[in-house]
A and B are shown apart, each in its own frame.
Chain A
Amino acid sequence: MKKIEAIIREEKLNAVKQALEENSYFGMTVSEVSGRGRQKGIPLQWRAGEYRVDLLPKVKIELVVLDEDIPVVTEAIVRNAKTGETGDGKIFILPVETVVRVRTGDRDESAI
């Protein structure tokens, strides 16, 4: 089992969510996050003049899948979250030790 943490552009969330659903990956946790990378920030305006915001709003999608599903899921995220500009985000894949479904107490594969 692996956990996928994908940090993507806010405006790409719907496309990614839809692509995952089409591949039968329904469950996920989504949060609004702030971060920075090579995009470096964007200029906004004050009453007069500009200022730079270097922590930009992004969306983080978290989902846990079986090891063999990793290529499909990462491919779906990359394809749908990519614009080719800096600021498209990153995907982190982490090992998961245990999963428990709260409703039934099911563990691991049967709980995903």
Chain B
Amino acid sequence: MSINTGDTAWILISSALVLLMTPGLALFYGGMARRKNLLSTIMMSFAVMGIISIIWALWGYSFSFGVDKGSFIGGLNYFGLANVGMEPSNTYASTVPHLAFMTFQGMFAIITVALITGAVVERIKFSSLMIFSTLWMTVVYAPVCHWVWGGGWLGGIGALDFAGGAVVHINAGISALALVMVLGRRRGFPTDVMEPNNIPMVALGAGLLWFGWFGFNAGSALASDGLASSAFVATNLSAAAGGFTWMIISWIHRRPSLLGTVTGAVAGLVAITPAAGFVQPIAAIPIGIIVSIICYYSIILMKSKFHFDDSLDVFAVHGMGGIWGALATGIFASSAIGGTAGLIEGNAYQVLIQLVSIVTVAGFAFAVTWILGKLIDVTIGLRVKQMEETVGLDLSQHGERAYGGLLR
């Protein structure tokens, strides 16, 4: 196998783009937290960038992409980056250095863990979150990633997941829900008003996410080619359709909302993630429109009806959006793009395969995350003390505050 310089340049740039999504997510989440928890919310994403980068190089990549063990998990042949070098792998991305493929995949692992934090902000104990992240990466992310992309059974039965609808979004969204169920609500939820402290920060974060998502989806072509371009266009159209639709929904209810519009754009990006390299780019428009309708009413259902304190709507946006994206991939897949036909082209079976991937990934992620959460809760405790929560996590967990100084 020989290295293609164009492909390599694109994968390295895409890796950097995907990495930038996590600080983007930090701002996106941070702006929605209350002022006393702004730093702690941002800190969760940055801490994950540190811890998961290291775990990925040590054992995460190997468990995900190492030589297949019973279709369930990768072996230890890439432990500590052994056998991962400057030459292409003979299994994955055969035109770029193996190290480039490894680091590209590592960026996905980072943001998936960071996504979960949005559900548990403002009350989770920081040290427990770090332990949870380590364990979750090892026993939830790595197996699921292996099933879909690393030669495991879901990829084997033909489940389509171009850039991480199941591996990243369903996985993170369902795990977020399970962790919230163990952790419980924030003090005062749902009666107290918990206002976002800085919506411009949310919008900046969403902008960085949208920008980085081009690396996420178009980079997942693993080549600098026509498929990458197709995925790129699909990504932009779905984000646009999602944002526009959410704007219209908020307008019908009240006024066109900025917080709503940027949330819709992110929902659109979530939904197109598994589909980007399998559907005609124009199909991204209905995919983006429908995801915003689904996620909008999911938030209302979760918050107002069930009173789940999935604080920043990780399940409603990433879980539900990811589920819709996986289904939409089965519906809209076009053999001219990714080589597989979907329901519209007469292959109803693909929808069934997609359903299997949704149910198994969701079931596994929920069960294992719930057990992990319980284990941490009964040993060192998941939650901060009442006083620490009231004072805010910025001061109680990090000894810092977002806005210092009495005088200007």
Contacts and interface: CB of A to CB of B under 8 A. Distances in A.
Interface of A: 43-54
8 contacts: A44-B195, A45-B253, A45-B259, A48-B260, A48-B296, A48-B299, A48-B303, A49-B253
The 6 closest A-B pairs by CB, nearest first: A48-B299, A47-B263, A48-B296, A48-B300, A45-B257, A51-B193
Contact of A53 (B195, B250, B255, B303): B195
A51 B34 CA distance: 15
B303 A49 contact: yes
Contact of B259 (A47, A50, A52, A54): A47
B349 interface: no
B304 A46 contact: no
Nearest to A53: B193
A49 B259 contact: no
A51 B313 CA distance: 16
Nearest to A46: B259
Contacts of B255: 45
Main secondary structure of the interface of B (DSSP, over half): helix
A48 B254 contact: no
Contacts of A46: 196, 259
Contacts of B260: 45, 47-48
Interface in B159-198: 193, 195-196
Main secondary structure of the interface of A (DSSP, over half): strand
Contact of B193 (A47, A49, A52): A52
Contacts of A50: 253-254
Contact of B313 (A43, A45, A47): A47
Contacts of B257: 45, 47
Contacts of B313: 47
Nearest to A54: B193
Of the listed residues A45, A50, A51, A53, the one surrounded by the most CB atoms of chain B closer than 10 A to its CB is A45
A105 B250 CA distance: 59
Contacts of A49: 253, 299-300, 303-304
Contacts of A52: 193
A12 B196 CA distance: 27
B195 A45 contact: no
A23 to B, nearest CB: 31
A52 B297 CA distance: 20
A52 B192 CA distance: 10
A51 B195 CA distance: 9
Given A46-B259, A49-B253, A49-B304, 16 more contacts: A43-B254, A44-B195, A45-B250, A45-B254, A45-B255, A45-B257, A45-B259, A46-B196, A47-B257, A47-B259, A47-B260, A48-B250, A48-B296, A48-B297, A50-B254, A51-B195
Contacts of A51: 193, 195
B299 A47 contact: yes
Nearest to B299: A48
Nearest to A50: B254
Nearest to B300: A48
B254 to A, nearest CB: 6
A53 to B, nearest CB: 6
